[in-house]
Amino acid sequence: MANLLGGKGAGLAEMTRMELPVPPGFTITTEACRAYLEHGREPDRLADEITREWDRFETEVHKRFGADRPLLVAVRSGAEISMPGMMDTVLNVGLGDEAVLRLAEWSGDERFAWDAYSRFVRSFGETVLRLPEQLFQEAETRVCDAFGAGRKNVLDAAQLKVLTSAYQEVVNAETGEGIPGDPRRQLDLAVRAVFDSWNGERARAYRRREDISEDLGTAVNVCLMVFGNLGPDSGTGVAFTRDPATGAPGAYGDYLQRAVGEDIVAGIRNTVPLAELERLDPASYARLRANLRALEAHYRDMCDIEFTVERGTLWMLQTRIGERGAEATFRIASDLVDEGVITPDEALGRGTGERLARLLFPRFAESGTDRPAARGVAASPGAAVGQIVFDSRKAVERREDGRHVVLVRPQTRPEDLPGMLASVGLLTTSGGKTSHAAVVARGLGIPCVCGADQLDLDVEGGVLTLPDGTRLRDGDFVSLDGSTGDVYAGRIPLVPSPVARDFVAPAPESGQSPAQQDAETVHDEAVRDEAVVRAVRRALDWADGHRRLRVRANADTPDEAVQARRLGAEGIGLCRTEHMFLGDRQPIVERLILAETPAERGTALAELLTVQREDFRGILRAMDGLPVVVRLLDPPLHEFLPDLTELSVRHATGDYRGEDRHHLQRVLDAVRRTHEQNPMLGLRGVRLGLTVPGLYANQVRALAEAAAGLKAEGLDPRPEIMVPLVGDVSELRLVKQEAEQVLAEVRLATGTAVDCPVGTMIELPRAALTAGDLAAEAAFFSFGTNDLTQTTWGFSRDDVEGSFFPAYLEHKIFAVSPFQTIDPAVGSLITTALAGGRAARPGLETGVCGEHGGDPESIRFFDRARLDYVSCSPFRVPVARLEAGRAVVEGAVVEGA
Amino acid sequence: MANLLGGKGAGLAEMTRMELPVPPGFTITTEACRAYLEHGREPDRLADEITREWDRFETEVHKRFGADRPLLVAVRSGAEISMPGMMDTVLNVGLGDEAVLRLAEWSGDERFAWDAYSRFVRSFGETVLRLPEQLFQEAETRVCDAFGAGRKNVLDAAQLKVLTSAYQEVVNAETGEGIPGDPRRQLDLAVRAVFDSWNGERARAYRRREDISEDLGTAVNVCLMVFGNLGPDSGTGVAFTRDPATGAPGAYGDYLQRAVGEDIVAGIRNTVPLAELERLDPASYARLRANLRALEAHYRDMCDIEFTVERGTLWMLQTRIGERGAEATFRIASDLVDEGVITPDEALGRGTGERLARLLFPRFAESGTDRPAARGVAASPGAAVGQIVFDSRKAVERREDGRHVVLVRPQTRPEDLPGMLASVGLLTTSGGKTSHAAVVARGLGIPCVCGADQLDLDVEGGVLTLPDGTRLRDGDFVSLDGSTGDVYAGRIPLVPSPVARDFVAPAPESGQSPAQQDAETVHDEAVRDEAVVRAVRRALDWADGHRRLRVRANADTPDEAVQARRLGAEGIGLCRTEHMFLGDRQPIVERLILAETPAERGTALAELLTVQREDFRGILRAMDGLPVVVRLLDPPLHEFLPDLTELSVRHATGDYRGEDRHHLQRVLDAVRRTHEQNPMLGLRGVRLGLTVPGLYANQVRALAEAAAGLKAEGLDPRPEIMVPLVGDVSELRLVKQEAEQVLAEVRLATGTAVDCPVGTMIELPRAALTAGDLAAEAAFFSFGTNDLTQTTWGFSRDDVEGSFFPAYLEHKIFAVSPFQTIDPAVGSLITTALAGGRAARPGLETGVCGEHGGDPESIRFFDRARLDYVSCSPFRVPVARLEAGRAVVEGAVVEGA
C-alpha cells in the first residue's frame, strides 16, 4: 500500500482500519503525483476526486465534531520511502479572513487564531507561492519594531493581526492578488506545491545520496488540523513502542505541552520524557500505551508514532516501523520471539550482519558524540581513542611505553604492519574500504577510518590539520569511529562491547529472560548487556541451525587463530604467510634477497624455516582438529624492501641513518632489480615459487614439520597447502610435485605421516576459465575474489578507490564498490569455474577467501552457488555466520514464493 | 613412413622405390627402438628379423657386386625429425682381422684397408663399448711418436696396422675380450649403441631445445659401405636441387674428391663447388643431375641430398626436403607453380609470414656475418648499423647532424619516442618481444634487439661492455640484426630489401619469368631481386584472393598511414592518440595536468585541439575512403610526466637543470598526485575520459573538425571512435553521449555531417563477459588482445618478460609467450564476447588491434572465429595478408580431410 499512499498515508490508513483515533482526512496517491510530474499538470480526474473526498471529509468532520469546528487541514507529503524534512508541508489550509474569526470563536483563544493565521499566510506565501522568505522577514521585523517587540512570540492577538496584514501586503504586492479565499482553491495550490517539492533541490540531493528512485513521486496527506497548542491540556509528542537504543520493552519518547509538531522539530523548547505524560494526563497516557501495544501487535515490530493531545483528546498522527540501533535490533527481535509475536526465522531476518558487526566493538558513550571534526570511510568498525603518531616505528615505541596510539598515515604499506599492530586505531587520508589499511585493520579487528581527505596531513612536519583549522600534533589525542567514519579531536569516553566479551568468556545463561522483567524501570547496564548478549547468541544459534556455508577465518598468527575460533570459525580458510616475513623477520628476508652465495641464501632460509615452523605450530594448535589452509608466499619480494623513491633520495643525499654506505647501496641495487612497473601484475604468487629456488619448499617443510610435531603430541593438525595466483595447471603441478617431495622427506625424517592436501586459489580469469584442468590437480578451490575482481575489471584496489571510484559511484557505473559486493561478471566467472571444477572432480571442496567472504550480499551469492565455505577476518566470522543463516532463510522464502 | 623408418630411412626407401642407385641395406624401425628403450632390451623378434634382413642383404650384395666385395655396413641413426649429429653412427661394421685382408684385396689398397680398420676399432671401442676416448688417444700418440709421425694421417699401411693393434690392445685391456669377430654380433652391438644414443646427453639437450618428443625413438639404417676415398675417381658431396639461399634453379652443392662424408663434416679439406664434378666426372655429374630432377619431381619441392662416387659409380646416400632461406622460400614456390609442379594454393602453404617479414628489411651481406658478440631477443626484424647513443635527446641531435644512430637503453619508455624515431635501430638490455621498445619498434619498422642481458650497460658512465670485455662508448659503431637477435661490434655491410622497395615504388612486371632463363649462370643481383619481388607479389596476390580477414594497420601519424596504405592496409584499425601528446606536445599536456584554473586548462585544451586536428587531417587524408579507428586517450596521465624516483632525486639534490625551482616543485607535486602503484590497473582508458573534464570531448572535436574539413574538400574521410578499457556498458554510454553531443555541435558549426560510429575495445575480461550489454551501444568491437592477455593471466608484459617468462618457457608452462600467440583461455573469452555481441547486434563489426593481429597462429584463430579484420603494425600488414590467405587455404584442407 505504501507505494501508492506513501509511508505516512499507509500508516494513517492502517490506523484508521484499526479504529485508532486518527483525524479525518484523505490521501492523494503517488500515482497522481507521477502523472503531474510527467505531464506538468494535474491529471484531469484529480480535481473531481479531490472534490468528492473533500465533501466526504466535510461531512465526516461535521458529524464527528459539529459544524462549529473550522475545516482546517494539514497538507503533508509522504513518499514511499521516508525522506524526512525534504519536502514541503502546508498547515492550516482553509484559513482566511472569515475563517480566522470562526477559529477564534471555536477555540476561545483569539491570540491562538491570529497566530495560526499569520503563520499560514507566511507559510503559504513562501511555500506555495514561492515568494522570497526575506520579504516576510522584513515585514515581520517592521511590525515587531513598531510594537517594540524583540520577536513575534511576544505579540498579542491585535498585534498578530497587524502582522498578518503585513504578510498579506507582501503577498498582494508580489502576486497582484491575495491568497485565494476559497479553501478548496487553497488546497489545490498546496497539493501542487507538495508535488513540486518532490523535485526540489534538497529532495533531489537526498534521493541521490540515499539511492532512491527519481520516479516514485510523493503522496499527499490531507488531514484535519488538530491542535496541541490550545492550552495545558494539549500537547504533542513522539513515541516508540520500545527503547530504540537498547530495545528494552516499554514506551519511550518525548512530549511537549502546549505545542505543535513543528515546535518539537524546531527544538525551541525542551521536551520531557514520555513518562511525564502519565502525570500530566493519565487518561491520554493510558490510551497512548494501549494504542502503542495495538500497533506493535499489528505490525509485529517496534513502531514509532507521532501524536497530539487536543484538549485531552489523543490523536494519532503518524506511525511506522521504528528505526533502531544495532543493540535494539537484536534485543527486540529476540524479545518478540519470546513474546510469541514472531518466529525465530523472522527474527533472523531482522538483524543484519552489519548491525551485528557494530556490536562487536567498543562504542562511544552516547553523551560524548558531538559533531565530528571530519568524516572518512568507515573502514573497520569500532571506536578508538589514542594519541596521534605519524610513523610506524614510533607507534611501536609508544606502545611499549604503555600508551594507546592511533597511527595516522596518508596510506599504509605492508612494512607498516608492526606499527598497525601496536595501534588501537588507524586513520588514513587516502584509500577506501579495500585499501591496505582497511583490509589489514578488519583482519586485526582494529577500528579504522580511511580516506579522510578533508584532513590535511603533513607527515614530515608532524601536523594533522582539521577542516576547522585545528592543528593536531604527535601525542595529541584523537577519537575515531570506524563504524561511521567519524573523526574527533580529543578524547571521547568509550563503552566496551559486552558481545565481544561474551565470545571471549561466555557468561552463564541467566534463568530468566530480560524481557520477563519490568524493563521500563530497569536502567542497570549489566542487565542491558546481558540482554543484548543473549539476543546475539540466539540470533547466531538460529543462523547456525540454518546455514549451509561453513565459516572459516583469515588468520595469520596464533593469536588471530585463537580469536577466530572463539568467534566461531570452523577452521582457517586463509593463512597469509607474508606476515611471517615482516616485522622482526624482515631483516632475514632482506638477507635472503641480498644473498650472493648459496651459503648465504641457505642460512637465511634456515632461519626462516625455524620461525615459520613456530608460527605454524601455534596456528595449528589453536585450530586443532580443524582445517588450516596455508597460502604459500604471494606478494612480490620488493614488498619486503624499502620504497624505491625514498631509498633513492636517501642514497642521493647521503642520508644513511646509521647504516653503512655499502649496505645501503646493496639494498638499493636489490630494490632496483626487483622494482616493477605494476607489482600486482608481476613476479608474485606461484611465479615466485617457480623462480626463487627453495622458497616454497621451505614453507612446506616448516608446515609439515610443525604438523608432524603436533601429531606426535597426540593432537590432530589439519594443514592444507594453497598455491596462489595460479593461471595454468602446470604451475600447480610443479608446485605440488615439489610439495609432495618435501612432505615425503618430512614423513621419512619424523616417522609421522601428515595428510596435507594441495589446492589452488582461483583468482585469475584464466584460472576460472581453465578450472576443469586445475581440478585434475587441485584438492580444493579457494576463490580469491579480491584479485579476481581486480583482473576481471582491470583495476587495482590500491589505485582506483581514491581516483575514479567516487566518479563511478556518482555516475552509477556501479552502485557499490565491486571490492565490497561481488560483481555479477566476477560471479559469472565463479560459476564457470565451479561448473568446470566439479565436472572434473565431483565433490571438489570450494570456498572463498577474499574480502567478499564477509559481505552479506556476496554471502547470498556464495550460498546459492553452493560453495562449501566462506573465509573472512576473525571479527567478521559472527557476521558471516549470521548472514549465511539469513541467506538460507531468505532463499527459502524466495523459493517458496 | 618417416615416423616408422625415420627421415633418413624413409628417404632411402623412397629412392629405392624410384630405382635410384641406393646401396643395399635395411632399416630397423623406430618401433623396435621404442620397445628397446621401454623394456631395456631388444624385443624378442628383433634378432630374427635382423637375421632375415641380413641374409637378404648378403644375397643382394653378392648378386649385385659379386662375392669378393667385403660385407661392410654403415650403421646410422635416423629419427623422424632430423637431429643432425646428435646420435651415434658406426661405420665399417663387419671388419675384423680377416675382413681387413679381403678389403685390402678387393680395393687393391692396403693402406686404405688398414686405415678403415684402425678407425673402426677405435670407433667401435668408443661408441659401442663406451671406452674413454683418452685411452685411444694415448695409444695413437705412442704409435705416432714411435714412428716419428706428427699425426696418424701420414702413417703408411704397416704403421696403421701397428696403430690398429694398439687400439685393439686398449679394447682387450678394458673389456677383457676384443671386438667380436662375428659381423652379425658387431651389428647387434652397433644397433644397440645407436638405440642408446637416443638418450645421450647431447640428444636430450637438443630435443629439449627443439621441443621434440622424448617418446619418438630413432630408426637404425644398416647400409652397405660405399667408399668415396678409393682414389681420384671417388669422392663425396652434398647437393641441393635449387640454390637454398636465393632459390635460383639448378644444382648447387659441394664436392670433395677422395673423401668420405665425415671428412666434409669435419671441414679438414676445402670442398669445391658442385659444378666442378662435371669437369672431374661428367658421367657421374649427368647421372646426379638426372637424379636431382627426378627427386624434385617426386617430392614436388627442392631437395637436398648426400651422395658418394665410388670408382666412377654414383651412390645416393640420403635425401630430404631441403632447408632454405626466406628469399628462396618464395622464389622456389613461385617457380614451381610456373613449372606446373605445384598449384598456387600449395605455393601459398610454403611461404610463411615470418619468412616474408625478413624480406621486408635490409639484411647483412652474407660475407660479413661473423660470430655475434651477443644475442638478445629478435624483437623487430631487419639489420641496422649505427653509432651508439645512450640517451633519447642525443639521438635526436645526432640524427639532425645526419648521423645514423642506434639507441641503446636498459629499456624504453613512452618519453623515449622522439629518440626512437631518430634511430636506425634499438638495443635494450632488458624486456622481451612485447616490451615497449619491441612493440614501438615493430610499429615503426625499426630493427630492434631486446633484452640482450649478456651486455653490461652503464648508462651514466656511457659504457656498453660486451661479453668478451670490449667496451663500446657513445659514438662507437654497433650492428644488430632484429631478425635473429644478433649484436655485433663495428660496422657490417648492409644489403637493402628489394621487396620493401617494391612496396614503395613497384617495378613494372617483366615479360619473362626469371625461371625461364638459364638461372644457373645468372648471378646478376638485379635479376635475383626481380625474381624475389615477383615471387612475393604473387604470394600476396594468391593470399589476397583467398583471405576472409581484412587487414588494417595500427598507425598513429600521417607518415605511418601513408606507409601502411602502401603495404596494403585496408584502413587503420588502431590510431593511438597518445602519440599526439608526446614529443613537442608534451609541454602542452604538462600544462594541462598542472592547470590550476579553468582558464589555464582551457588554453591547454585549445592548443591540443589544434595540433590533434592537424594530425587527424593528415591521417584521414592518407586513408581517404578507408576506415580510421581512433582510440581515445588510453595511458595514465603520469606517462606524460617525468619519472617519480628520478624527479625526487633531482628535487632532493637541487638538480634543477635550468628549470626554476618552483616549476620543478609543481611538476613533482603533480607526479606524486598522479603516481600509481599499478598504473596498468589505474586511472587510464575510459576512466580518464569520465574523470578529466573535456579531455575526450576535445579529441572527438579535433577528429570531427578534421573530417568535416576534408569532406568539404570533396574527400571521403571515414573516422570511427573507439573507447578504450571499457568494463561496463554505462561507461561506453556516457562517452558515446558526450561524443554524439560534440559531433552534433561540429555538424552545426561546419554545416557538414560526418558519420562517425562509436565502438569499444574489448580488452578486459569483464567486457568480454558482458559483451551482450556492450553491443547494445557499440557499433563495433575491437579486441585489445594485449591487455586482455594481461588481465586474463594477471601479468603485465612490462614486468614479466624479463623476470619469470624465461623460467615459464623452460618449464613449458607455455610453449610461446601468450603476448605473441593468442592464449587458448584468452581465445575462449574472445569467443564468448563474439557470441554475446553478435546475439545482441547481428552483423556487429569485429576486429583485433593487439600485437596478435600480426601473429600467424593467432591469425588462424581470428579467421576461424570469423572476425572481420585484424590490425597490426604497418610492416606486419603484408605478413598478415599472407597469413590470412594461408589460414583459409589450410582451413579448407583441414575441413576437406
DSSP for A108-121 reads T-HHHHHHHHHHHH
User: Mind listing the pLDDT tens digit for each residue in A134-152?
Assistant: 999 999 999 999 999 888 8
Per-residue model confidence (pLDDT) at position B851: 81
- Average confidence (pLDDT) over A581-591: 87
- Mean pLDDT of all residues in A292-296: 96
Contact state of A730 with B813 under an 8 Å Cβ cutoff: yes
Q: Give percent of chain B with pLDDT exceeding 90.
A: 64
Task: Kindly provide the ipTM of the predicted complex, given to two decimals.
Answer: 0.81
**For an interface test with B, which of A637, A763, A803 has the most B Cβ atoms less than 10 Å from its Cβ?**
A803
* pLDDT exceeds 50 at position A284: yes
Predicted local confidence at residue A637, as pLDDT: 85
In chain A, residues under CATH classification 3.50.30.10 are 361-495
pTM exceeds 0.90, yes or no: no
Would you state the cell numbers that stand for residue B843, as one nine-digit string?
552483423
- What is the arithmetic mean of pLDDT over A471-481? 94
Residues of chain A with pLDDT > 90, as a percent, come to: 65
- CA B604 from centre of chain: 46
Run of H or E including A530:
helix A525-546
Q: What is the pLDDT of residues B750-769, one digit of tens each?
A: 999 999 999 999 999 999 99
Residue B520 has pLDDT above 60, yes or no: no
The mean pLDDT of A816-821, rounded to a whole number, is 88
In this structure, the number of other CB atoms found within 10 A of the CB of residue A832 comes to 18
**What pLDDT, on the 0 to 100 scale, is given for residue A894?**
61
First to last CA, chain A: 19
pLDDT number for residue A265 = 65
Instruction: Return the residue in A641, A648, A671, A791 with the most chain B beta carbons within 10 A, the one to mutate for interface testing.
Output: A791
Alpha-carbon distance of B835 to B867, in angstroms, equals 12
Name which of A264-268, A383-387, B284-288, B876-880 the model is least confident about: A264-268
- The answer to whether residue A403 scores a pLDDT higher than 80 is yes
Question: What region does B694 belong to: left with phi over 0, alpha with psi -120 to 50, or beta?
Answer: left
- pLDDT, tens digit, 9 for 90 and up, residues A361-379: 888 876 555 788 898 888 8
Nearest CB among B682, B792, B807 relative to A765 is that of: B792
pLDDT at res. B522: 41
pLDDT digits (tens, 9 = 90+) for B658-675: 778 888 888 888 888 888
φ, ψ for residue A147, nearest 5 deg:
-90, 5
Highest mean pLDDT among A285-294, B252-261, B425-434: A285-294
**Is residue A4 pLDDT above 70, yes or no?**
yes
Which of the residues A33, A303, A436, A852 is marked catalytic?
A436
Query: What's the gap in Å between the CA of A786 and the closest CA on chain B?
Result: 12
- Return the pLDDT at B514: 44
Domain with CATH 3.30.470.20 in chain A: 235-324
Distance from CA of B869 to the nearest CA of A (A): 25
Q: Which of A489-493, A762-766, B201-205, B821-825 has the lowest mean pLDDT?
A: B201-205
**Active-site annotation of B, residues:** 436, 849
A756 is catalytic: no
Residue B519 is predicted with a pLDDT of: 42
Instruction: Please tell me the distance in Å from B804's CA to the nearest CA on chain A.
Output: 6
Cell of A138: 522584513
Beta strand B383-389 with B758-762 is unpaired
Residue B513 is predicted with a pLDDT of 47
May I ask the CATH architecture of the domain A547-636+686-896?
Alpha-Beta Barrel (3.20)
**C-alpha grid cell, residue B170:** 686398449
Q: Is the predicted pLDDT of residue A512 greater than 50, yes or no?
A: no
- Whether pLDDT at B50 is above 60: yes
Which residues on A lie below 8 Å from B813 (Cβ)?
690, 728, 730-731, 734
The residues pairing with B255 across neighbouring beta strands, listed in sequence order, are B237, B272
How far CA A628 is from CA of A620, B367, B678, in Å, comes to 7, 66, 31
pLDDT of residue B261: 78
CA pair distance A522, A249, nearest whole angstrom: 10
What average pLDDT is seen over chain A? Answer: 90
Given the C-alpha cell 506513501, which residue does it identify? A6
pLDDT at B504 over 60: yes
Interface test with B, best of A769, A774, A787, A800 (most B CBs within 10 A): A769
Q: What is the pLDDT of residues A423-439, one digit of tens each?
A: 999 999 987 776 778 87
Q: Which of B870, B868, B866 is nearest to B878 (CA)?
A: B870
pLDDT digits over B693-710, tens only?
899 999 999 999 999 999
Nearest to B794 among A725, A734, A804 (CB): A725
Interchain pair A766, B792: CB under 8 A? yes
Asked whether the beta carbons of residue A727 and residue B679 sit closer than 8 angstroms, the reply is no
Q: How many CB atoms lie within 10 A of CB B705?
A: 22
- Res. B802 pLDDT band, cuts 50 70 90: low
Please compute the mean of the pLDDT values over residues A548-568 and round it to a whole number.
Answer: 95
- What span, in angstroms and rounded, lies between the C-alpha atoms of B96 and B104? 12
Return the CATH fold of B2-224: Dna Ligase; domain 1 (3.30.1490)
pLDDT at B894: 61
Domain range A235-324, CATH class: alpha beta
CATH class of the region A361-495: alpha beta
Rg (CA), chain A: 33
Average pLDDT score over residue span A511-527: 52
Confidence band of A503 (pLDDT split at 50, 70, 90): confident
**Predicted pLDDT of residue B640:** 86
The beta-carbon neighbor of A825 closest among B687, B770, B808 is B770
Reported as a pLDDT band with limits 50, 70 and 90, residue A414 is low
Is residue B517 pLDDT above 50, yes or no? no
pLDDT at residue number A895: 58
DSSP strands (E only) in A410-485: 425-428, 448-450, 456-458, 463-465, 471-473, 477-481
- With H, G, I as helix, E, B as strand and everything else as coil, classify residue B681: helix
Residues of B in contact with A814 (CB under 8 A): 728
Q: Determine the average pLDDT of the residues in A711-716.
A: 96
Closest CA in chain B for residue A798: B677
Looking at the predicted structure, is the pLDDT value of residue A513 above 50?
Answer: no
Q: Which residues of A touch B682 (CB under 8 A)?
A: 795-796, 799-800, 803
CB contact under 8 A, A811 and B769: no
Task: Test B807 with A770 for CB contact under 8 angstroms.
Answer: no
Tell me whether residue A849 is one of the annotated catalytic residues. yes
| Residue spans in chain A of domains classed CATH 3.30.1490.20 | 2-224
Mention every residue, 6+ apart, whose C-beta is less than 8 A from residue A794. B680, B681, B725, B727, B763, B764, B765, B766, B787, B791
Rounded (5°) CA angle A552-A814-A80: 100
Minimum-distance CB partner of A683 among B728, B804, B812? B804
Burial code (b: 16+ CB inside 10 Å, e: under 16) for A240-249 equals: bbbbbbbbbb
CA-derived radius of gyration, chain B: 33
> In angstroms, what separates the C-alpha of A21 from chain B's closest C-alpha?
51
- How does DSSP classify residue B656? -
